[in-house]
């Protein structure tokens, strides 16, 4: 997926509260510009909102992020560092 034509990130108190306190907004945003895997989150998407999963293994700590794009803005739904078992699962992908 290309992110070049997006306007930026939409942050407010609602989605900031769903980002792990150990993960900064800057780290989450950096993941969108680093090598990463992006895949649909079919389990949590709805007809009105497509959700995507971004997995970035190239940062200091691997990051798991769920997001959507609304009117050209990336809206992060949740973000957290990955557990060792998850990293092993996706390293082979």
1 pLDDT more than 80: no
pLDDT at site 74: 95
pLDDT at site 90: 80
Q: Which are the contacts of 54, defined by CB distance < 8 A and separation ≥ 6? A: 31, 32, 36, 37, 38, 63, 64, 65, 66, 67
22 pLDDT more than 90: no
Compute the mean pLDDT over every residue in the chain, rounded to the nearest whole number.
89
pTM here is 0.87
Place of tokens 């803005």: 73
Fill in the DSSP letter of residue 44. T
pLDDT at site 21: 82
């Amino acid at each position: 997926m290309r992110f070049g034509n997006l306007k930026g990130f939409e942050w407010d108190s609602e989605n900031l509260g769903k980002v792990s306190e150990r993960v900064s907004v800057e780290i989450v945003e950096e993941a969108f510009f680093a090598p990463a895997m992006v895949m649909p989150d079919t389990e949590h998407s709805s007809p009105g909102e497509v959700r995507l999963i971004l997995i970035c293994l190239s940062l200091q700590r691997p990051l798991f992020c769920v997001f959507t794009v609304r009117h050209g803005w990336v809206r992060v739904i949740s973000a957290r560092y990955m557990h060792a078992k998850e990293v092993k699962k996706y390293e082979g992908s």
